[in-house]
Structure 1
Amino acid sequence: MRHMEGEQTPMLRIDNLLREHATRQLVLNDKPPIRYTAILEESVLSRPIGGPMVLQAQLEQLTRLVALPHLTVLVLPSQSGPHQGMDGPFTVCRMQRPNPPVALLDQLAGRAVVEASAAERYDTAFDNLKSLALDPAQSLELITKTAEHIA
């Protein structure tokens, strides 16, 4: 395997991704707290990436996080069928008016930022996904039951 100048080795890439992921989680403890709503497809609750013990720990962490008053976790049931989030994950950042929303798209090549009217389409898609998702109490119940049934 050759390493070209300016490229990251696989281990360095993984280290950077883990560091970035850990840093993103710190935003949940910001003061003042930001409102954060996550919508997860039901199928990710049973996808054992890292093995069953890792998945169970992740689900248990989710059940602790939903106790935070500024955090909402919603589960999109599998029977919802095709939906606007199927093209991949996206984040909508809603800021104080008059600022329009901004959408962040996580892609294989990196993160893309979408602004203006294109971001408003993602904002509308997010609201549509919220309307299809279970309510917060139902979502928490499903996450808890799934965590309890992991072998």
Structure 2
Amino acid sequence: MTALHAGFQLRTMGDNDLPAVVAIEDATQPTPWTEQVFRDCFNSHYDCRVIARDGDIAGFAVLSSVLDEVHLLNIAVAPAMQRRGLAWAALRELIADYQQRSMGYIYLEVRASNQGARQLYERLGFQLNGERKNYYRTVDGREDAILMSLALQH
């Protein structure tokens, strides 16, 4: 468990966190992951974390790693808790953690329309690597993904 700020901590996600995590996912994604997808992440030994304070879940992150590469699969903060620096603080902590593990890169995809997330990743030093056409499902079609990466070892 790692202290972030304002009493929030980044800790490992557990089974009893899933109702809150799924509620945040449902509130923040146009095509949300199901509870079973999160359980599959547990079963695959992905790095699943929650942003919590006093037992309340404010957000989460799910990452997978292979060799020296990390893939940020999903990150979200509850709408009522957004714009308070929680995603930024959680990502800074995750980046530091993976640097200590001598990982080489973190990769991610972000919806082309998600300007707030793209700006957050850019402020953290992520670089634009390209795009994937029609990568994300939307309610009425498909949307491009922007590919980004951050070198962890300089």
Per the TM superposition, whether the score is higher than 0.5 is: no
Greater Rg by CA: 1
Whichever structure has more strand as a proportion of its residues is: 2
Q: Compute the TM-score of the two structures, normalised by the length of structure 1.
A: 0.30
Could you say which structure has the greater relative contact order, defined with CA pairs below 8 angstroms and 6 or more residues apart?
A: 1
Q: Which structure carries more helix by proportion?
A: 1
